[in-house]
Structure 1
Amino acid sequence: YSSTTDGKTYTYLSDGLIWDEYKFDPNIKSSLPLLGPVRTKKGTIAARQPHIPKRTAPWWRAQCKFRGLSQQGRIEVLQERIRATDNGMIKELATAEQELNAEFRKQNAATRDEEWNHMETDEEKAEADPGRFLQEKFPSITAIVVKTNSRIESDGTLPSIDHWIVIGRDRLSVNKKVLKINHESIRARQRAQEASEERSRKKH
């Protein structure tokens, strides 16, 4: 999509139209200055007042442009113009943005499918898209464990050569599988410790 006005062009970047480097803000009320301080139920001025982000004049002009409003005037004038007449993005731009979003999602899905089809191992697919991997590979299983060769670092610990990814259809299924793995791991360490102690006693 391309439309040039005032020497500037609307462009599209993955999830919305851009004009003069700025995107449309549907929640613009949170950027408008308060008409008065927020008060408590008793009528006193509240200790905590909303944070109003500071916006530049070009940003306010872009918001007016998206709304089909005049871009003339100081920041205060632009703000009051939007406060009084904000009806959202004009229909022509809203329609164009919806169509571009749909086309982007379609192309993005095609790209992901192509990358998916080029993956050779279950481990690659499990890391790239756990939900899709579980649905395609094990449609009737609630949770599985996949061993990978990725390296993980956390809080100064040494990277581990192997780690496990737990994939499930919901949080409960994953938590149950994780608990089972933890219990089995603890029991395995206990057995190893007992075997080591037994060998040590036999030596003496």
Structure 2
Amino acid sequence: MASESDSDDNSDPPVSQILVANDAGIFSFDGYQLEFQDHPYARNVAQYIPLLEPFRTTRGTIAARQPRHDSKPRSWWQSQCVFRGLSSDGNIEEMQNALRGHEEDCISEDILDLLDRAKKKFKTRNREARESNWMHNMSDEEKATKNPRRYLKETFPAGSKSKETVLLTTHFVASIRETARELGLRCEYTHAPTDGDTVVRMAKYWVVVGQDRATVTEKVRMIERETQRLKREQEEGQQELRRKNKVMRTKQMETEEAIANSKDWDVTGSWRISCPHIEESWDVESLTMKIFVETTEKGVQMFAEFDFGILTGVLRFERQKGDTITSSTRPMKCDDIDEEEKPEEEDEKEEDEKEEDETSEKSSDTYGQKEDDDDADDEAEARRSPTPESFYFKSIAQPSAKHPTWNYRYRSEETGEGVIELGSDSELYSLTFCGPNGRSLKGTIGGSVFGDCTFTGVKVCGVEVGSVGTEYLNIREEWANRNAWAYENAGVSRWH
């Protein structure tokens, strides 16, 4: 059976190189030429050997321009000596002198005998490798494509009678069908089921070969029925996909029309963020932000969760100056809380001073003391505090062309080891909504990891109030999970 693949011995050898040896050393052979120390035989080496005497002109004087010779490594000179049957001992100059007078000598008889042995060994090794690959590695399709005659003769031995069939998936039918006919076998084929891309890909066929005509025909008919079923399913799937796409386009058009007709800005939803300083310095991408609006009994809150690659967390927007909340809605003062509010004054100057006081008072839970308590409920309550009044809006409940810029504070943790960025909420940053109906933004942010920098964003989709899709953000919980109590509870020692 091995003889079936003898014609392949000189094409695409699985063994690309073998080693052979004689008294001179070890040679390599790639099916075409011998090499000694990675150098083949060179027919004319005179061009590389320096002249014994300087080149002279016709007048007998030494020429100003002497012939230049390309330099060769010592291993190359050794190889040329070995191929000519000369001694390869000594330095380069000694081997050059040994080659003088033998520059165009042919390969020595010993090396030619070695070449013959190398060719036989190369052919044997590759025949063995092909046979091993045929027996252990190749699939039926690969065998039928590589050598259809051998494959079919092995599958259906001469003189045997069987109703067994083989099913082959291939792009090429002619050689298999012709070989099957010569061996007295029945061969039929049909188009294989496709995924709809046959326009850009070569057609594929399912080929059935067997000894019994009726069995082969029935097998092909069964395949054709299955093909039709799959085709119907694909058409139905495509129709459903077109229907869904139409619904999506309709909803998108309705949304765009609603936005175009809207006088008020709606900034809630998902935003694609760009911050060159972070993206280029830390090789991160796909920065995102999701903005939420939530209406409570005490007023409207606007907040967001963000993922800036090296930092994730939440931020809370503060109300606009002049958007005051009456004292009746302000929570009572408590010694246990980590955020305090000073009484508001109607005078504008005192209003500005109050905003500055709130900035210092809300810094990373460093104001207000907590007492140790064994009770789990008391401990959980201790790590939370009433929401500061500045996070509640009243009459100015969302961004607009008149109020595009909003101040915010944030709490976060590093994405690597989850280290909480303690103290980040002590700083006040700003974010400005711009573009048509606030569809883009520009903001500032700072941190111990990356310093102060700016970022921009574009809104990519809207959301329902208080949620993004099926998500819901409990801002009080997320805010409390990043305070000083959470930092200490996580164990500072693992971050240092």
User: Normalised by the shorter chain, which TM-score bucket?
Assistant: 0.3 to 0.5
TM-score normalised over the length of structure 2: 0.22
Structure with greater helix share of residues:
1
Larger of the two Rg values belongs to structure: 2
Structure with greater strand share of residues:
2
TM-score normalised over the length of structure 1: 0.44
